[in-house]
Structure 1
Amino acid sequence: MWCYRHLLVSLFALTLAAPTVAGIEVGGTRLIFDASKKEATLSVKNPDKNTPYLIQTWLDNGDDADQTKIPFIITPPLFRLDAGQENQLRVINTAPMPQDRETIYWLSVKSIAATTREANQLQISVRTRIKMIYRPAALRVGAGDAYTKLGVKRINNTLVFNNPTPYYISLHTVYLGKSEITEAGMVPPLGSHTLTVPASSSGPISWRAINDYGGRTDAATAGSR
């Protein structure tokens, strides 16, 4: 019993010592790199009135184990963001890219709040990770309604989405009759994506996607097959 009470007291003290982190605001849920422009920019803002942050930024291809060099640089990669200040991240393409379809990478922004030298103070880092989609100049028009062109069919307990377009389509919600699937994933350009559905579900298939601005599209529908 003494050990249990001692543990509770220690955890309570640790909680009081932990700093309150307001967090960094990243100016978007995704970044579209329009290849007709020289670079893409993303704002990073510190809304905290008192706490500065150390910001680290990087790009990867979605697999932490894959060390393949990314054909983009992001600047600044490391900087201090004072209270109430805002900075612009710049992403620059450094090598030729496929021009017949979009390519996706992931952009990470990690923030570490400044701490004092007081005892029992925790240092907390927060990582925000968003999609960065490279869009060739020839594909500037057409992304907005690409989700309506998806083909879908049911195979046993799965729905298979086929994407005939050169765009990545992030599914927000998929419905099969009354069955709802959230966090439905992403359909790659000129590729397919499979979702598992309840065996007992039936009815018309509909879906909403996520647009370039992070909002939901209108629903698109298809007959159950």
Structure 2
Amino acid sequence: MMRKLTTAALLLSAVMSNYVHAGVVMGGTRVIYPQGKREVSFSVTNMEKQTPYLIQSWIENFDSKNTQTAPFVVTPPLFRLDPEQKNVLRISYIGTPLPADRESVFWLNVKNIAPARKENSNKLQINVKSKFKIFFRPQGLKGEPALAYKQLTFSCDGNRLTAHNPTPYFISFYQVKVAASAIKEPGMIAPFSDRRWNTACGGAVSWQAINDFGGLTRVATQS
């Protein structure tokens, strides 16, 4: 009996290991582009042992209503990524003027296209599209981006909670709680702006943000 359980555990471990390591893995969860840099890199790795992928990438405006061309190019825009191989996307700013007193944000899109294969006489092609934020950071902005989340202030008006961001940095929330109640999908707050949520107010507000490296900040609290 013990031998059967051990065998089952090993099989489960192998399956989970293949699941975790399979597919295409990106080299981060966001891109910080400091003004003045010629380019920044974003790695793409194929963890599969047999399956190649076609990788397509492009950059677009964060606001889908903005139809202007995003001021970045990514190379190579399309390439084959063989099994257990790694390539690097190079993102370059082409110089279109952007606000100098605050960050700007854009989307990096990466699509993984698996080869078509026959299963039960039907062709199956798997496409996975991922989106990553690109933060363009002008030179000379005041304050430390890693500490910007601590400068947020919160206020309540009835059943509406308002966050105010007095800094030139975007702050991506990991969580926002009022007392013990967490706000679902708190999102991101833009520089020098407010963000509001409809929620019952009362008690201390606590929050965590996502830093430049995709990690979490410490919890900040306002009574």
Where does residue 207 of structure 1 map in the other structure? 207
Inter-partner Cα distance in structure 1 for 2:118 and 2:206: 55
Q: Which residue of 2 aligns with 1:58?
A: 58
Aligned mates of 2:101, 2:154 — CA distance in 1: 23
Tell me if structure 1 keeps the 8 A contact 2:54–2:78.
Answer: yes
1:34 to partner: Cα distance: 1.3
- TM-score normalised to structure 2 length: 0.85
CA distance in 1, matches of 2:104, 2:154: 23
Runs of at least 5 residues in structure 1 that lack an aligned partner in the other structure = 1-19
Match of 1:219 in 2: 219
What is the alpha-carbon distance in structure 2 between the residues aligned to residue 64 and residue 159 of structure 1?
A: 26
1:107 alignment partner in structure 2: 108
1:84 and 2:95 aligned: no
Q: For residue 72 of structure 2, what is the aligned residue in structure 1? A: 72
What is the match of residue 12 of structure 1? none
C-alpha deviation, 1:180, in angstroms:
1.2
Cα distance per residue 1:160-207 (max 9 Å; x no partner): 111110000011111111111242111100111111213xx5211111
Residue in structure 1 matched with residue 6 of structure 2 by the alignment:
none
CA displacement at 1:217 relative to structure 2:
0.5
* Matched AA of 1:59: I
Paired letter, 1:93: Y
The AA in structure 2 aligned to 1:208 is: Q
Which residue is equivalent to 1:191?
A: 193
Count of residue pairs brought into register by the alignment: 202
In 2, Cα distance between equivalents of 1:85 and 1:168 = 34
Query: In structure 2, what is the Cα distance between the partners aligned to 1:63 and 1:134?
Result: 15
Q: Give the alignment's TM-score, normalised by structure 1.
A: 0.84
- 3-state DSSP of counterpart to 2:73: strand
Gaps of 5+ in 2: 1-18
- Aligned counterparts of 2:178 and 2:118: Cα–Cα separation in 1: 56
Find the counterpart in structure 1 of residue 41 from structure 2.
41
Q: Quick one: structure 1 residues 139 and 36, their matched pair in 2 at CA, closer, same or farther if it must change by over 3 Å?
A: farther
